[in-house]
């Protein structure tokens, strides 16, 4: 057995970050990136549950063309809260702050992030921002849509002021995470971990962090201006006060379009990891994938105007934004082709995370390609603000980001909690999520191109069958998540003990024990080529994989 | 693929195909001259997308079967390619050229719709929560958009309150209607008939009820309609003319005529009643009070209501106010006995 060695050996006593210290204090004042990752994970999953319940209520109301279970004002508040909670409390922090916090230092070979206190502060800011949002809900809700368009948002007497303050605070949480990741990747890489040896998730998180740091302040300023207009009557956006309502849209989308990439880039990073691990071969076209993440981060700042083709923006501006929008499609296409090529001559296994990766290719393919209809000016004018848009962004945000998040959650679950979940139920639920999602959203493309506008409480009778189809799909989707919740919770208590590398992953986090020790690595790991699968071998005894090294990582004497 | 589309049609849109002429699986009927060029762009992008989607899915399925591991023991295949610069350059450049082509086609279709012909007939559009008002060159205002067939129509649009958006699916036409500025758009209707107008910028409680119709008249029919409609105050009994104005000018959005309290007090039986005002005084509703409330709504606000009604100064002529008063009176006459103060 001497030829097998890994950092896992140091944790054999059973000491890990979960039992390193005890009590509430040890969790709520922790500086350990892994524990902060779990604090985030619990928070965002709570937000996801809340946002999901809002969604099911919205879909239920839409069962009939007129009132089904609630009045128009309640419906308007529910779709607003569904959007705001899902975007600001779940998807944006989802992969970076929860999964990223946990795995980034591990994949890098570091003991923690660069600023552990800032990391904890970002979680507390998230919590305070979330409390502001809950306060808005408790004091009557918000009915503006998650976009808070002026002058509607400055005129409505719902709780817009408190939720915009919440968004302002959440923005700082996001900025803190971004700064932390940038500095960590620059300064805490082990000497042997060069830029082009980094796992692609780290490239993606790095690109994401750049957008978080550069774009989020604009959102902060925008919602602050909105807050000032609303509370002090300073005219910035409201034409009744001498302001310009379209200016608000520019400010808002200057953040919120890059924010779409804050959501999708880390998802793409996760998918890169999944494809290479479950193909059991090095990723195809490492550099193209890495550079495409950076390209997306840069171009994403220049396309915000494509949300405003019908906003009275000039024809020339529309033309420029349409062109730039098509350019941002290319890096995404490159990634899709490279993931496909990664399966070529691979040795594919199909555990639950891989099912999510394949599901991602299918759904993100549809989400991306339907973007072409919306980037083209002539068709966007017809499709803008209809259910076609609703379907498109759900295919990207759910079919892309949430599916990748679920893939990542299942992939790192054994590492995070040291327990395996039930593989059969995992597969069943992945399949049901896929079916339920398509039933809910695919026909919304058709309903939208047939003219059904979004954010409608009542609707014209001809759309009834599409809506009912969608509603049935949403229940199926809810049921799939129920199954997932049950088997994941079950695994926490009864799951089989996880080995350090159950999938055969090539990156550093699989070299430490599951769950990892408090210090991550007893000694700084020696890093070779990215995604080096040579030496990873299946061990039938433990039904997991072990890495055999030609040279041990500790300072030699070389053995045979 | 046709089979798949056929199945989807059967599941979702089959009934629509039988009732609506010109409706396809994806698109509503083409009601304007611009609609077909939009649909051509849509079709082009659709088939390009279908091609790439099929490519992705087929390659994925083939690889999944061809390269699946037999058991958990992994065969190490030497010579697995880790990159291929030419191939990767190809799948960067080819999609780039394709999307630039799509950009160009989309732009051309957009420019066709952006520039109205010089001889266009102009209609002013005013949006307010939750109502469309269409003002014709002779000053007549209607709640639906009536147009002649085969003539370019230019719409000059503005909003009285928040942002709205004017959307006619059959025309593939959409333009935001913004307070404090004028937006323009145009179309030319192909056939006589009716088309749905939606508001597509979220504007609050009644957003989804902010509907209207485009009524396309036969050649010559539009001019006759406009003449008749503009004279309705002369042609109809005063109370009926007042009822039309009540519907058309947005009174109905806040004031019910069946006794329900809305954003404003109901008009049923209100004439002759005495109501307490916000400032503590009380007012008996008569002709002068109604006139004042229309022209200067904030002067005497009924207790329990918000001072949110916009002024109609300059928007309603004296004779229009007179027939509205006649209509409100008629709601008392027909409303049975009233308790008088």
Which of A318, A342, A376 to substitute to test the interface with B, most B CBs within 10 Å? A376
User: Is residue A551 in a domain?
Assistant: no
In this structure, are B130 and B173 located in the same domain?
yes
Tell me the residues of chain B between 187 and 206 that have a Cβ less than 8 Å away from chain A. Answer: 196, 198-206
Q: What is the pLDDT of residue A380?
A: 95
Q: Which of A20-24, A161-165, A378-382, B1-5 has the lowest mean pLDDT?
A: B1-5
Tell me the residues of chain B between 293 and 322 that have a Cβ less than 8 Å away from chain A. Answer: none
Q: Is the CB of residue A503 less than 8 Å from the CB of residue A353? A: yes
| Backbone angle region of A497, left / alpha / beta, with phi > 0 → left and psi within -120 to 50 → alpha | beta
User: Is residue B44 in a domain?
Assistant: yes
Chain B closest-CA separation from residue A452 CA (Å): 9
pLDDT band at residue A108 under the 50/70/90 scheme: very high
CB contact under 8 Å between B161 and A362, yes or no, is no
Structural domain count of chain B: 3
Return contacts of A395-398, CB within 8 angstroms, 24+ apart.
A395/A363, A395/A364, A395/A366, A395/A367, A395/A370, A395/A441, A396/A260, A396/A264, A396/A364, A396/A367, A396/A368, A396/A371, A397/A86, A397/A91, A397/A260, A397/A263, A397/A264, A398/A363, A398/A437, A398/A441
Q: How far is A244 from A92, CA to CA, in rounded Å? A: 28
CB contact under 8 Å between A543 and B69, yes or no, is no
Pick from A72, A312, A378: CB nearest B183: A312
Chain B residues whose CB is inside 8 A of the A453 CB are 167, 198-200, 208
Chain B residues whose CB is inside 8 A of the A380 CB are 106
Return contacts of B226-231, CB within 8 angstroms, 24+ apart.
B226/B136, B226/B138, B226/B140, B226/B146, B229/B140, B229/B142, B229/B146, B230/B136, B230/B138, B230/B139, B230/B140
Q: Does A72 touch chain B (CB under 8 A)?
A: yes
User: Is residue B281 in a domain?
Assistant: yes
Q: Is the CB of residue A366 less than 8 Å from the CB of residue A393? A: no
Chain B closest-CA separation from residue A343 CA (Å): 6
Pick from A284, A361, A378: CB nearest B60: A361
CB contact under 8 Å between B179 and A245, yes or no, is yes
Mean pLDDT rounded to a whole number for chain A? 91
Chain B closest-CA separation from residue A94 CA (Å): 27
Query: Domain range holding A90?
Result: 26-511
Q: How far is B33 from A191, CA to CA, in rounded Å? A: 66
Closest to A417 (Cα-Cα) out of A351, A352, A497: A497
In this structure, are B199 and B297 located in the same domain?
no
Among residues B173, B199, B230, which one ends one of the domains? B230
Q: Is the CB of residue B36 less than 8 Å from the CB of residue B115? A: no
Bridge partners (DSSP) of residue B123 are: B155
pLDDT band at residue B12 under the 50/70/90 scheme: very low
Tell me the residues of chain B between 239 and 278 that have a Cβ less than 8 Å away from chain A. Answer: none
Q: How far is A39 from A79, CA to CA, in rounded Å? A: 27
Q: How far is A403 from B220, CA to CA, in rounded Å? A: 58
Q: Does A351 touch chain B (CB under 8 A)?
A: no
Q: Encoding tokens for residue B49?
A: 């997308």
User: Is residue A476 in a domain?
Assistant: yes
Q: How far is A457 from B205, CA to CA, in rounded Å? A: 9
Q: What is the CATH number of the domain that holds A160?
A: 1.20.210.10
In this structure, are B259 and B288 located in the same domain?
yes
Q: What is the pLDDT of residue A549?
A: 60
User: Is residue B150 in a domain?
Assistant: yes
Q: What is the CATH number of the domain that holds B141?
A: 2.60.40.420
Closest to A370 (Cα-Cα) out of A391, A342, A340: A391
Give the residue on B whose Cα is nearest the Cα of A542.
B72
Q: What is the pLDDT of residue A156?
A: 83
CB contact under 8 Å between B52 and A369, yes or no, is yes
CB contact under 8 Å between B174 and A385, yes or no, is yes
Give mean pLDDT, residues A256-271.
94
In this structure, are B161 and B105 located in the same domain?
no
CB contact under 8 Å between B81 and A338, yes or no, is no
Q: Encoding tokens for residue A524?
A: 């700084």
User: Is residue B79 in a domain?
Assistant: no
Give mean pLDDT, residues B91-101.
93
Tell me the residues of chain A between 285 and 324 that have a Cβ less than 8 Å away from chain B. Answer: 285-288, 310-312, 315, 318-319, 322-323
Q: Does A529 touch chain B (CB under 8 A)?
A: no
CB contact under 8 Å between A450 and B64, yes or no, is no
In this structure, are B134 and B202 located in the same domain?
yes
3 state DSSP class of B15: helix
Q: Which of A72-76, B49-53, B337-341 has the lowest mean pLDDT?
A: B337-341
Give mean pLDDT, residues A335-346.
93
The DSSP letter of residue B234 is H
Q: Does A141 touch chain B (CB under 8 A)?
A: no
User: Is residue A547 in a domain?
Assistant: no
- pLDDT over threshold 50, residue B18: no
User: Is residue B65 in a domain?
Assistant: no
Give mean pLDDT, residues A427-446.
96
Tell me the residues of chain B between 8 and 27 that have a Cβ less than 8 Å away from chain A. Answer: 8, 11-13, 15-16, 23, 25-27
Which of A370, A379, A387, A452 to substitute to test the interface with B, most B CBs within 10 Å? A379
Predicted confidence (pLDDT) per residue in A312-332, tens digit = 888 899 999 999 999 999 999
Query: Domain range holding B267?
Result: 234-333
Chain B residues whose CB is inside 8 A of the A540 CB are 72
Closest to B50 (Cα-Cα) out of A322, A445, A399: A445
Give mean pLDDT, residues A319-348.
93
Residue with tokens 């997306």: A296
Closest to B150 (Cα-Cα) out of B226, B221, B219, B223: B219
CB contact under 8 Å between B106 and A366, yes or no, is no
User: Is residue B61 in a domain?
Assistant: no
In this structure, are B106 and B38 located in the same domain?
yes
User: Is residue A524 in a domain?
Assistant: no
Structural domain count of chain A: 1
User: Is residue A538 in a domain?
Assistant: no
Residue A70 burial (C-beta neighbours within 10 Å; 0-12, 13-18, 19+): middle
Give mean pLDDT, residues A431-454.
96
Q: How far is A520 from A104, CA to CA, in rounded Å? A: 11
CB contact under 8 Å between A287 and B196, yes or no, is no
Q: Note the helical H segments in B81-168.
A: 85-114
Query: Which H or E run includes A494?
Result: helix A464-494
Q: Which of A20-29, B44-53, B57-66 has the lowest mean pLDDT?
A: A20-29
In this structure, are B244 and B186 located in the same domain?
no
Predicted confidence (pLDDT) per residue in B227-284, tens digit = 888 888 887 888 888 888 888 888 888 888 888 888 888 888 888 888 888 888 888 8
């Amino acid at each position: 057995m001497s030829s097998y060695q890994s950092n896992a050996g140091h944790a054999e006593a059973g000491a890990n970050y979960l039992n390193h210290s005890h009590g509430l204090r040890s969790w709520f004042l922790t500086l350990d990136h892994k524990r902060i990752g779990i604090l985030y994970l619990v928070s965002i999953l709570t937000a996801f549950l809340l946002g999901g319940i809002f969604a099911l209520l919205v879909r239920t109301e839409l069962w009939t063309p007129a009132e089904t279970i609630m009045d128009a004002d309640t419906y308007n508040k529910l779709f607003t809260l569904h959007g705001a909670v899902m975007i600001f409390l779940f998807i944006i922090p989802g992969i970076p702050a929860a999964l990223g916090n946990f795995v980034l230092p591990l994949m890098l070979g570091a003991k923690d992030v660069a600023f552990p206190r800032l990391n904890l502060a970002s979680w507390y800011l998230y919590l305070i921002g979330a409390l502001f949002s809950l306060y808005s809900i408790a004091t009557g809700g918000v009915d503006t849509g998650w976009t808070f368009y002026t002058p509607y948002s400055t005129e409505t007497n719902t709780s817009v002021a408190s939720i915009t303050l919440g968004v302002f605070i959440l923005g700082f949480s996001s900025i803190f995470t971004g700064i932390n990741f940038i500095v960590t990747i620059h300064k805490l890489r082990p000497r042997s971990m060069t830029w082009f040896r980094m796992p692609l998730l780290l490239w993606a998180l790095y690109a994401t962090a750049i957008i978080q740091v550069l774009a989020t302040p604009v959102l902060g300023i925008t919602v602050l201006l909105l807050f000032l207009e609303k509370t002090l009557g300073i005219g910035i956006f409201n034409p009744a006060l001498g302001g310009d309502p379209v200016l608000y849209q520019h400010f808002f989308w200057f953040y919120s379009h890059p924010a779409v990439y804050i959501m999708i880039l880390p998802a793409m990073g996760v998918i890169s990891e999944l494809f290479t691990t479950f193909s059991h071969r090095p990723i195809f076209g490492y550099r193209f994938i890495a550079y495409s993440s950076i390209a997306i981060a840069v171009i994403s700042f220049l396309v915000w105007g494509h949300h405003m083709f019908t906003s009275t923006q000039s024809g020339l501006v529309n033309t420029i934004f349409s062109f730039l929008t098509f350019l941002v499609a290319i890096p995404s296409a490159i990634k899709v082709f490279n993931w496909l090529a990664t399966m070529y001559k691979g040795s594919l296994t199909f555990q639950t995370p891989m099912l999510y990766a394949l599901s991602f290719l299918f759904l993100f393919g549809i989400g991306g390609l339907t973007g072409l209809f919306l980037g083209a000016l002539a068709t966007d004018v017809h499709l803008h603000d209809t259910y076609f848009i609703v379907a498109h962004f759900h295919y990207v945000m759910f079919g892309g980001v949430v599916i990748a998040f679920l893939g990542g959650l299942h992939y790192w679950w054994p590492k995070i909690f040291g327990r395996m979940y039930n593989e059969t139920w995992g597969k069943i639920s992945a399949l049901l999520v896929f079916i339920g999602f398509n039933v809910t959203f695919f026909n919304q493309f058709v309903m939208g191109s047939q003219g059904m506008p979004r954010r409608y409480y009542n609707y014209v009778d001809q759309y009834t069958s599409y809506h009912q189809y969608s509603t049935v799909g949403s229940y199926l989707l809810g049921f799939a998540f129920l199954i997932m919740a049950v088997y994941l919770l079950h695994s926490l208590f009864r799951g089989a003990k996880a080995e350090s590398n159950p999938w055969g992953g090539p990156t550093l986090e699989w070299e430490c024990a599951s769950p990892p020790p408090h210090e991550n690595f007893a000694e700084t790991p020696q890093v070779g080529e990215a995604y080096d699968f040579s030496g990873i071998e299946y061990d039938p005894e433990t039904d997991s994989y072990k890495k055999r090294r030609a040279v041990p990582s500790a300072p030699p004497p070389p053995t045979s | 693929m046709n089979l798949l589309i056929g199945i989807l049609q059967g599941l979702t849109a089959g009934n629509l195909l039988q009732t609506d002429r010109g409706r396809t699986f994806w698109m509503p009927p083409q009601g304007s001259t611009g609609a077909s060029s939009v649909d051509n762009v849509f079709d082009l992008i659709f088939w390009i997308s279908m091609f790439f989607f099929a490519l992705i899915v087929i390659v994925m399925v083939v690889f999944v079967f061809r390269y699946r591991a037999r058991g958990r023991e992994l065969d190490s295949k030497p010579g697995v390619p880790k990159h291929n610069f030419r191939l990767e350059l190809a799948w960067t450049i080819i999609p780039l050229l394709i999307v630039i082509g799509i950009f160009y086609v989309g732009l051309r279709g957009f420019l066709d719709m952006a520039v109205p012909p010089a001889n266009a007939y102009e209609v002013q559009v005013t949006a307010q929560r939750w109502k469309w008002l269409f003002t014709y060159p002779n000053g007549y205002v209607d709640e639906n958009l009536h147009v002649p067939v085969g003539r370019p129509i230019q719409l000059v649009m503005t909003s009285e309150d928040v942002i709205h958006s004017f959307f006619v699916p059959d025309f593939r036409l959409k333009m935001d209607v913004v307070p404090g500025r004028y937006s323009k758009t145009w179309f030319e209707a192909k056939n006589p008939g009716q088309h749905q107008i939606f508001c597509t910028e979220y504007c609050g409680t009644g957003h989804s009820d902010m509907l209207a119709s485009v009524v396309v008249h036969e050649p010559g029919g539009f001019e006759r309609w406009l003449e008749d409609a503009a004279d309705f105050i002369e042609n109809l009994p005063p109370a009926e003319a007042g009822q039309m104005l009540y519907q058309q000018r947005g009174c109905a959005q806040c004031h019910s005529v069946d006794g329900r309290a809305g954003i404003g007090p109901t008009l049923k039986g209100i004439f002759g009643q005495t109501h307490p005002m916000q400032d503590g005084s009380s007012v008996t509703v008569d002709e002068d009070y109604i006139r004042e409330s229309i022209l200067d709504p904030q002067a005497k606000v009924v207790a329990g209501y918000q001072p949110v009604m916009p002024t109609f100064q300059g928007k309603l002529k004296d004779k229009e106010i007179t027939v509205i008063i006649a209509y409100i009176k008629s709601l008392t006459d027909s409303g049975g006995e009233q308790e008088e103060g």
